[in-house]
Structure 1
Amino acid sequence: MSFDPLTVSEEIQGFIRRFVETNNYHGVVVGVSGGVDSAVVTVLCAKALGAQRVFGLILPDRDSSRTSTRLAVELCEEFGVPHRIFSITPLLRKVGIYRMFPPAFIFPRRIQENYVKNKWRTLSRDPYLDDLLDAGNAFFKKGLAYYRIKHRIRMCLLYFEAERRGYAVAGCVNKTELKTGLYVKWGDSAADFEPIAHLYKTQVMELAKLIGVPRKIVERPPTPDLIPGLTDEFILGLNYEELDRILMKFEMNEDLSNEDPGLVQRVKQIVSAAQRRRIANVRFTD
């Protein structure tokens, strides 16, 4: 699948400008996480509209990596994007979320990460498929509720910030995430417009290099940053190069005989289970 990042960059910037102007928004709010997807969206919005018409909202919680917050701030500062750090920890604590699991701050980050990885491996035969299907035992479902509410609270704050400014909320979900269900329904999938939803993750990373996203962000292992230690590729069970290559072949109906049959089957299982994420607003007339 051919991909020209320069052309794509120009096309997305035009899309951003048209969307904002056509719908009479004054600017754009982006949830800046310290990851490559939100970095690409932030930079493209700044290039399209001017940095002063973009606002970066950085929303860490107790479990977030400090590196994520630092990289998010550095990105906004480098591109002149006004920004604010707002910890959602007090909100989550008020709701009672942290009472679901023991406090983690008393342990070094490395111990937290190793504990979570080991726990993930033992939760079920296939934790990610159970996640997609809202399956698993009571403890596992408690974990789903624990991490998903974080993105949903972030969504509320993004819209609060956007609406009081007359801004639009820019989404940061990519095509790989949409196909594999690697997002939270009514959380990071909720936005007024999606600048990179037509790009696979590997394409987003190529685009990031072209538009000047710092290498520290581009080369950092992608992570949801909702629970310590879990990276995207650890959760999915394969790397993005493999995943995107197979997804593209699915899309183009290309021959898969030279792919590892086990990986192809894994991707098929994930894509099938991810259909459940799309259940939303089902009406009687449907």
Structure 2
Amino acid sequence: MSFSAERESKRIESFIKEFIKKYGYKGAVIGISGGIDSAVVLALLVNAIGKDKIKAFILPERDSSKRSIEDARLVCQHFGVEYKIKSITKSLSGLGIYKLFPPAFFIPEKFKIMYAKNRWNRYDDPYAMDLQNSGDELFLKGIAYYRSKHRIRMCKLYFEAEKLNYCVVGTTNKTELKLGLYVKWGDDSVDIEPIKHLYKTQVFELARYLNVPEKIIKKPPTPDLVPGLTDEEAFGMKYQEVDNILMELERNPELLEENIDNEKYKRIKKLIELAKYREIRSLGIEDIKDAR
């Protein structure tokens, strides 16, 4: 699948400009995580509407990695966008979120990562369990715990955006959408999604064209499920492999059945089906059947 980063960049920037003009927004609000997706979207926004019409927010909480906050700062400073750091810890605490898991202020980060990964690896396929909302009590608590953080962040972004008549800009890509790597009513709840049509590997290409800091490009993408866990560990394969299969299936869906004995195709098929199941499960409202 041919891809021109220059052409795509111009196309997305035009889309952003037209969207904001069409719906009467005065600017854009975006959450910056320190990852490649939000960095790319921020760069596109700067090119499309100018940095003066952008409000960038870094929204850490009790468990946030200091490294992620530093990377988020780096991205904003690199593109010359003013940013605010607003902790969401009090909001999460007020909802009782932190009561699910005790604080670990004085434990070194490497031990936190080790503990969290050991918990994750207790299960045969925890990512699939997450998509199905299944598992034991501890696992379900973990799901509720991390998803609440995404939802509170989105509430904060909308609060800031609506005071100014700005749109909330999303940073989800096509690979994440296909495989369910997002939080329903969290990072999927936005006004505009500039890169939702791009696979993750294409986002990397766009990042290089847009001069995203090399540190951010080289940083392994993480799903914010478990400290230290990467997207590729959750999927069970490299992004290049994932996207190659997804692109092939986009061109020829029958390939899935032809390669059903291939373990990587089977894995992708399973995740696609579970992602669709979760979507239906969260949106579907069945009518009460006529019992007469």
TM range (shorter): over 0.9
Instruction: Summarize deviations over 1:5-52 as a string: whole Å, max 9, x none.
Output: 110000000000000000000000011000000011111001100001
How much is the aligned-residue C-alpha RMSD, in angstroms? Answer: 1.8
Partner of 1:158: 157
Q: What are the equivalent positions in structure 2 for 1:251-266 lying under 5 Å apart?
A: 251-253=250-252, 261-266=262-267
Q: Deviations over 1:80-139 (max 9, x none)?
A: 2121001111211222211211212221000011111111010x2211111001111111
Residue 163 and residue 111 in structure 1: after superposition, are their counterparts in 2 closer, same or farther (change >3 A)?
same
Asked if the contact 2:180/2:275 (under 8 Å) is kept, the reply is yes
Q: Which residue of 1 aligns with 2:96?
A: 96
TM-score norm. by structure 2 comes to 0.93
CA contact (8 A) 1:64 1:227 kept: no
Shift >3 Å, 4+ stretches: 254-260, 280-286
Cα distance in 2 for partners of 1:185, 1:128 equals: 15
The runs of 5 or more residues in structure 2 that have no matched partner are none
| Paired residues for 1:31-42 under 5 Å | 31-42=31-42
Task: Using the aligned pairs only, state the percent identity.
Answer: 51
Please name the residue that 1:276 is paired with. 277
Residue 205 to residue 108, structure 1, CA distance change in 2 (3 Å): same
The Cα shift of 1:75 comes to 1.3
> How far apart are 1:224 and its partner, in Å?
2.5
Measure the CA separation in 1 of the matches of 2:77 and 2:246: 35
Report if the CA contact (8 A) 1:135-1:141 is conserved: yes
Distance 1:30 1:44 in 2: 12
What is the number of residues matched between the two proteins? 285
- Per-residue deviation, 1:283: 4.3
* Paired residue secondary structure (2:171): coil
Q: What displacement does 1:67 show?
A: 1.3
Unaligned runs of 5+ in 1: none
Cα distance in structure 1, aligned partners of 2:241 and 2:283: 33
Do the aligned partners of 1:52 and 1:80 also contact (CA within 8 Å) in 2? no
Residues in 2 aligned to 1:259 and 1:8: alpha-carbon distance in whole angstroms: 33
Partner SS for 1:193: coil
> Is this contact kept in 2: 1:155–1:187, CA < 8 A?
yes
Q: How does 1:180-219 map to 2 (within 5 A)?
A: 180-219=179-218
Tell me whether 1:246 sits opposite 2:245 in the alignment: yes
The answer on whether the counterparts of 1:92 and 1:98 sit within 8 Å (CA) in structure 2 is yes
Shift of residue 68, structure 1, vs aligned partner: 1.1
Secondary structure at the aligned position of 1:165 is classed as coil
Q: Counterparts of 2:117 and 2:250 in 1: how far apart (Å)?
A: 32
Report the secondary structure of 1:55's partner residue: strand
Using structure 1 for the length normalisation, give the TM-score. 0.95
Structure 2 equivalent of residue 135 of structure 1: 134
In structure 2, what residue type is equivalent to 1:265?
Answer: K
Report which stretch shifted further, 49-58 or 245-254: 245-254
Q: 1:228: Cα distance to partner? A: 1.4
Question: SS state of the match for residue 157, structure 2?
Answer: helix
Distance 2:76 2:113 in 1: 27
